[in-house]
A and B are shown apart, each in its own frame.
Chain A
Amino acid sequence: MEITVNGRTLNVMAEAETPLLYVLRNDAGCKGVRYGCGLGQCGACTVIIDGKPVQSCDVPVSAVAGKAITTVEGIGSEAKPHPLQAAFVEEQAAQCGYCVTGIIMSAKVLLDANPSPSDTEIKQALSKNLCRCGTHLRIVRAIKRAAAEMRS
């Protein structure tokens, strides 16, 4: 089976019903896609497919063959972080950080469609992402900062 991750096509030997999450983590090496629940409830595994946020633990790999999958590794790097990644550092918007990669992907989808979201719109866009450390308010601030950065 062929899948395209961050512009790179790879051939995977997994069975068709394997959740995309495990293929991304263990075959594509995208460890930033995190396992949190395997049930599509926490958002730690969020990736972008066709411009939409998708919980990769809850979709079989066979369903995404031929589609362009973007993970957190595909949006920025140490040398050139995405404005969201830079803003999360600037606002220190993490404690343990396990949820932040999934949140950054949900936020990217939001900002791509809505460059000036309100606090309420940001919180709504993150309604499928859980954070257990209580970093919510900093995360909202970081997303607003990134939005401002991306507009300028």
Chain B
Amino acid sequence: MAETPAKRKLPGSLEINRQLSQWLTINKDGSVDMRPGKIEIGQGILTAVRQIVAEELDVNIERVKVTAASTPTSPNEGTTSGSRSIEESGIAFRFAAAEARELLLARAGVKLGVSIEQLTVSDGVVKAPSGATVSYWDVTSDDLLQREATGEAKPKSHTQHKVVGTGAKRIDIPAKVLGKPVYVQDMETAGLVHARVVRPPSQFAELLSVDLDDVKKMPGVVAVVRDGRFLAVVAEREEQAIRAQARLKRNAKWKEVAQLPEFNPRYLLSRTPKTEVISEKKGDAPVKANEGKEFSAEYTRQFLAHASLAPSCAVARCDNGKYTVWTHSQSIYPLRVELAPALGVPEEDVVLHHMEGAGCYGQNAADFVATDAAVIARAVPGRTIRLQWMRDEEFQWEPFSSAMVVKTRATLSPDGHVSDWNMDIWSHGHGSRPGRTDGKSNLLAAWYVEKSLPRAPTGNPPLPGGGSHRNGLPIYDFANQRVSNHLIADQLLCVSSLRGLGSQTNVFAIECSLDEMALAANADPIAFRIRHLKDPRAVAVLEKVAQMAKWRPKEKGANNKARGVGFARYKNAAGYMAVIAEVELGEQLRVTKIWSAVDVGQIINTDGLTNQIEGGIVQAVSFVLKEEVKYDRVRITQESWDDYPILSFTEVPDVEVALINRPELPPVGAGEGTQGPVAAAIGNALFNAAGVRVRDMPITRERIVAAMA
């Protein structure tokens, strides 16, 4: 026997899930089962990967059935995040389906007595030149895909695509508009009981005393759980659980400490950071002192909440020490890795099934509530526990997106180029997702139970994607640059990933600085950007958005109305987004219209992409105009939508999106790239309208008034 060659690197998530049968089953009944390890969060991913499978197999899309991710049956695709699902899951399915097609054709060729090259396929029916046919469903068998992928099957060329690149309708929307029970919140089984948790009034509070007895006597109460500082109630009916929760809350006495920072992101500057120079470039012509004009500024953003419309929910059971949890976690496999030690059981004793929740836009409380439910199930074994957080709990205990401070210092050369660029980023980490194996935990309840695990420090996904430093490196070609990231690893407020991570603040800082320098150089802001860009795709989206909005070079605002520009390539590696925002400054700052030109390489689903971009834009406007987590030195003080308002129907701008399709290029992520460019375009439009720079987000009326004074 020859030596086994090194395993070939396989595309996307096939690399770590190499068995074809993990991904697909071709059934004798004329259907195809596909099992993505990625999950639906309202971004339409399951529809897009289904299109890819139908395309490669040459079957009608209705034949393809999608199974939600589940630890016993799905390929391990880690976390659904970072706009990486098409690149990882979509590409894996593309190659797996192409290979399945070849295997089916090989069998069909034998049956029909012709070579594979002579066969054509239409909706799973394989035809020989003679007109003789045999179908996939005739030749398939249980062992067809019981083999490792080779990665050698060649997917179709984009010129052959008929399903990919169309606006195939989402598979999940009909059930949702009919009000079917599609969310984990809607799960119902015989004997299901309802739980609620009683959290401390603030995260570092010590439990002094709690009276459980009178709660136990309340109508419908099945159990009152106390495990260390973790308190919960379980009742037959949901409203009984809520009443018992209120009583238990009154019965618990806590000692609180003032441990939260001041209500201003600049507190970050006085913490001890872990500093890392993430880019240093010295050009041929070092900047001479006193040559050119220097610009420096400081940009900030407050903590943001995911503020999912539905408070997080999970359903859990514990039977003979083995756990089953139904969850809307984006990370069922990594969650299992961290949940098992929190429960004190081996990983194989924990099974997680994904069910949809409301949109999360990053790590909301999904993983926390799943842990809560499992801890309660441990105390009440043999019952199916449904736990939904209440609105105030979601607003106070979800992991927020870190506040940030970004300082810029740049030099504009006499010939109108940025000759030197310096940027410093201060932030807590933007990645606290589960999956740790170091004995520490970020799963809220794990800190509070009797056998607690120590709280993990916050961190960042590594560059080039990055976390707080995401899009911290300018995409522009500057002669000299130095960018440093100052990570504050401790978490005073609980933090994790929110759509775009650090990119929103970083792009806001870069793009507002560029506008200031364009003005000083007496250049149009779009032309000034293009002057510093070498990438033709970047130039193309800027030119496109200028054309869409009928942008006039160096245009000025009038009557408190004006427009501004923002641009970025997400992570400097994914989608390109150029944005023009139109604002009107009255009693409040209103964003009245947004134009956006987008290039994400090959488009899989045109309408799905547009929906993601439109949604990202509207949400970004909400972030920029309205949103900040409210807290004092002791507590998170926000409890409801009154305390954390988001953009309403009457405030939503008109949005126009143009897609530049590049079918010959790989498809890349789209969902998060709008956050930075929209923020910058609004900041720049406000300047053009009122002549003031507001560098602190959210850009509220108070801040505008203060800047004008």
Q: List chain A positions with a Cβ less than 8 A from chain B.
A: 14-15, 18-19, 22, 25-26, 29-39, 41-42, 44, 71-73, 76-78, 81, 84-85, 88-89, 92, 94-101, 104, 122-124, 126-127, 129-140
Contact = CB atoms under 8 A, between A and B. Distances in A.
Interface string B662-703: 000000000000000000000000000000000000000000
A133 B238 CA distance: 27
B177 A44 contact: no
Interface string B612-630: 1011111100100000000
A38 B246 CA distance: 14
A39 B502 CA distance: 32
A75 to B, nearest CB: 9
Contact of A89 (B177, B611, B614, B619): B177
Contacts, number: 173
Interface stretch (B410-418, B443-451, B519-527, B645-653): B645-653
A94 to B, nearest CB: 5
Contact of A73 (B179, B612, B618, B655): B179
B359 A98 contact: yes
30 contacts: A25-B186, A29-B188, A32-B179, A34-B183, A35-B185, A35-B311, A36-B309, A37-B640, A42-B641, A72-B177, A76-B178, A81-B177, A84-B177, A92-B607, A94-B173, A94-B177, A95-B611, A96-B41, A97-B172, A97-B176, A97-B182, A98-B358, A100-B176, A104-B177, A124-B649, A124-B650, A127-B648, A133-B359, A136-B652, A137-B655
B177 A31 contact: no
B172 A22 contact: no
A72 B178 CA distance: 7
A25 to B, nearest CB: 8
A130 B650 contact: no
B310 A35 contact: yes
Contacts of B219: 15
A92 B177 CA distance: 10
B261 to A, nearest CB: 27
* 6 pairs of A and B residues whose beta carbons are closest in the complex: A32-B179, A96-B42, A134-B618, A97-B176, A96-B359, A134-B615
B178 A132 contact: no
Interface residues of B, number: 60
A2 to B, nearest CB: 18
Nearest to A17: B239
Contacts of A88: 173, 177
A92 to B, nearest CB: 6
B308 interface: yes
B68 to A, nearest CB: 15
B262 interface: no
Contacts of A35: 185, 310-311, 388
B614 A36 contact: no
Contact of A39 (B358, B622, B641): B641
Contacts of A34: 183, 185, 310
A22 B311 CA distance: 15
B238 A22 contact: yes
Nearest to B605: A92
Contacts of B356: 96
B206 to A, nearest CB: 29
B81 to A, nearest CB: 15
Contacts of A31: 179-181, 185-186, 188
B623 to A, nearest CB: 11
A135 B178 contact: no
Nearest to B641: A41
A18 B239 contact: yes
Contacts of B188: 29, 31
A140 B182 CA distance: 24
Interface string B184-219: 011010000000000000000000000000000001
A123 B649 contact: yes
Given A78-B174, A92-B167, 13 more contacts: A18-B239, A29-B188, A31-B179, A42-B641, A44-B309, A81-B174, A89-B174, A96-B309, A101-B177, A123-B650, A134-B614, A134-B615, A134-B618
Contacts of A78: 174, 178
Interface of A is mostly: loop
B660 interface: no
Nearest to A103: B649
Contacts of A92: 167, 169-170, 173, 607-608, 611
B310 A36 contact: yes
Interface in B561-617: 607-608, 611-612, 614-617
Nearest to A86: B177
A99 B309 contact: yes
A132 B614 contact: no
Contacts of B649: 122-124, 126-127, 129, 131, 136, 139-140
Nearest to A136: B652
B615 A133 contact: yes
B169 A26 contact: no
B29 interface: no
B391 interface: yes
A34 B615 CA distance: 21
Nearest to A95: B42
A89 B617 CA distance: 22
B179 A30 contact: yes
Nearest to B241: A22
Contacts of B531: none
A41 B649 CA distance: 13
A115 to B, nearest CB: 20
Contacts of A76: 178
B391 A77 contact: no
B359 A132 contact: yes
B178 A81 contact: yes
Given A81-B178, A94-B176, A130 B309 contact: yes
A94 B359 CA distance: 11
Contacts of B183: 34, 98
In this complex, the member of B239, B309, B614, B654 whose beta carbon has the largest number of chain A beta carbons within 10 angstroms is B309
B237 A32 contact: no
